[in-house]
Structure 1
Amino acid sequence: MSGMIELARNAVQTWECDQMGHMNVQFYVEKATQGLAALGVNLGLGPRFVRSEGARLFARDHHVRFLREQRPGAPFWLRGGVLEVHDYSLRIYQEMVATASGEVAATFTADVELLDEFTREMKPLPAKAKEKANALLIELPTHGAARGLTLYDPRPAPSLKDAEGLGMVHTYQGEVQAPQCDTQGRLSTRHFMGIVSDSIPNLLAQTRGDDRSKTPSVGGAALEYRFIYRGHPAAGDVLALRSGLKEVGNKTYTWCHWLFDVESGKAVATAEAVAIALDLETRKSIPIPDEMRTLLEGLVIDGLGV
């Protein structure tokens, strides 16, 4: 087993932060996507390969843990390696490290595949790439393992009718815009997460009556996410998100989010997230207030999952 290699280095920008005052979840995923590109270079699947073969690595399944808040101006770097090597896929691991303290701020485990950039057809990994990947094998650190989520096999893809039948909340609908897409005009990995993040104020308003524009003293933060990417929406497609509560714990609650192409009704992504109530003054998690708990427990929907 080798050690992890450096993949990216940057700092948190003010415009990457949300109403909670910390870096928004979509930008963590964006940094991990940049790290994947750098890992591709180390596997012989870098820009030259992409330009000549028209294929690059894409994530199919993401598991993300948020261990420490990242506030504006915070410097960080990403390191990572390979967990498993298969003929058509790799399981990789990355972690975001705070440059000043050396503490791990977030972890990313992903199943990645080599896909044609335009058709998104899966291609076998070149033998040399697998050889190089085997030289970068590492073991999953304990802090990168799932904690609040169970990493079970994804469910069959739900349909929009399934979501409506379950009574899931309509939390987002919009057209895929060109700035949300990669150079091939397909929704970028960051913006899958961005759509879910953008939906949260609507979700809270419809389920709890919250209005985040009123600067409340209690907010929320995600601890863990799992994303299954099931499609490749293009610029101009209209997407809709349906959300539902899976379970409620002492300090945490788990939401499921299903993203659909409105025209076809097919799922393009499914996700679930563990979140906490956050005291916005102390920046610490707090038990779910009794009134909120009673409300949340009445919103739980059986049968949700990724």
Structure 2
Amino acid sequence: MPAFETLLSFVNCWECDENDHLNVQFYLSRFDEADRQFRLLTGLSDAVAGVRRARHVRYHAELYSGDTLVMTSHIAFDGPYMLTVVHQLRRTIDGAIAATAVDGYAPSDQVARELRRRFEDAAAPMPDAALPRSLPTTPETLSMTARQIEAAGATVTNRATVLPRHAGPDGRAEDGFAVGCFSDAASHLWNRTPMTEAWLEARDYGRVAVEMKLVWASPLKMGEPAVTMSGLTGASTSTFSFRHYLFEARTLRLAAVCDVVALAMNLKTRKAVKLEDEVRSGIIKAVLKH
């Protein structure tokens, strides 16, 4: 069966960042809405499939102010998780894929067989474009404390409060809030690498995320303060990676972990640039020491 159309949207100018393209947090807010619509259309729920284990996002193309968008969603029983829901965000004008999200669930084998029967009409093959590329689908370790993370080399990079506009119908902070915190935090983390604000400005480069894996450890509710701690995790030829930990600020209860793969982009050509050897070595020297 064809995928369900779960979102019709538009890029507003106020959603675009210093690179003049849609900021990552607003991709996530659209995936949040598509997920709500998909659940409404199909009857999928946490009671049926369990709590989502991870959301794995890939950013395929830039979106600009004025772009109209359409989202389709379906279940992929051949996906990387026991139960996989795939969301594909496209530009309306040319149908190009702008971003994909893979929502992973881990029901028992017995429940998975029942889900296959129950959601047969919502199923379609797993698209190659949405498959995780640089980040694994293995479960994350969610027992790290703030003290342990700080000892490993992470630093505080953002503080925020869950406001009514950040919460979904259940009163919990949505992915868009978490990634908004991480988007703001990332600039502070980049300044811990050789690619500081001054370095980027001198070369007319911009900061770009290309892949994310978000895992919630516990909910954040409306009115709760949050603090983000971040650290570097690796570097390759053109990309480097880092991790954000989101805590409830009063008790330092871990709320979410997000792994990110990022790169520097030439703002004239809109192409990725290779990491210079000294940049790569500077990142590797500063990676978290777990």
TM-score bin, normalised by smaller chain: 0.7 to 0.9
Residue deviations 1:123-150, cap 9 Å, x none? xx9xx98755222112211111111112
1:246: how far off?
Answer: 0.9
Residue matched to 2:41 = 42
Residues 1:83 and 2:70 are matched in the alignment: no
Percent of aligned positions with the same letter in both sequences? 23
Q: Tell me the equivalent position of 1:117.
A: none
Q: In the alignment, what sits opposite 2:250?
A: 263
Contact 1:161 1:265 in 2 (8 A): no
| Match among 267, 277, 293 for residue 280 of structure 2 | 293
CA-based RMSD: 3.0
- Equivalents in 2 of 1:256, 1:79: separation in Å? 29
Q: Is 1:223 paired with 2:210?
A: yes
Partner of 2:264: 277
- Out of 218, 226, 229, which is 1:242 matched to? 229
- Name the structure 2 match of 1:121: none
Cα distance between partner residues in 2 of 1:37 and 1:173: 27
Change (3 A) 1:183 1:5: closer
Residue 177 of structure 1 corresponds to 163
Amino acid of the structure 1 residue aligned with 2:26: F
Cα offset, 1:291, TM superposition: 3.9
- DSSP-derived class of the 1:138 partner: coil
Task: Say whether 1:189 aligns with 2:175.
Answer: yes
Per the TM alignment, residue 240 of structure 1 is displaced from its structure 2 partner at its CA by: 1.3
Find the counterpart in structure 1 of residue 131 from structure 2. 145
Q: 3-state SS of the aligned residue for 1:228? A: strand
Amino acid at match of 2:266: D
* TM-score, length-scaled by structure 1: 0.82
Mapped contact 1:159–1:260 kept (Cα < 8 A): no
* TM-score in terms of structure 2 length: 0.86
Match of 1:163 in 2: 149
Equivalents in 2 of 1:108, 1:183: separation in Å?
21
Q: 1:12 to 1:200 in 2, by over 3 A?
A: same
Q: Is the contact between residue 74 and residue 85 of structure 2 (CA under 8 Å) also seen in structure 1?
A: yes
1:27 — aligned with what?
26
1:118 maps to what in 2?
A: none
Match of 1:3, SS state, is coil
Number of the residue aligned with 1:95: 88
User: C-alpha distance in 1, partners of 2:99/2:125?
Assistant: 17
8 Å CA contact 1:158–1:266 kept in 2: the answer is no
Q: Unaligned stretches of 5+ in structure 2? A: none
Give distance in 2, aligned partners of 1:25 and 1:177.
19
Contact 2:182–2:228 (Cα < 8 Å) also in 1: yes
Equivalent residues of 1:44, 1:129 under 8 A apart:
no
Does structure 1 retain, via aligned residues, the 8 Å contact 2:220–2:255?
yes
CA-to-aligned-CA distance 1:27-68 (integer Å, 9 cap, x gap): 11111111112212221469xxxxxx9x99974410001011
1:112 is displaced (CA, Å) by 5.6
Q: Distance in 2 between matches of 1:187 and 1:232?
A: 7
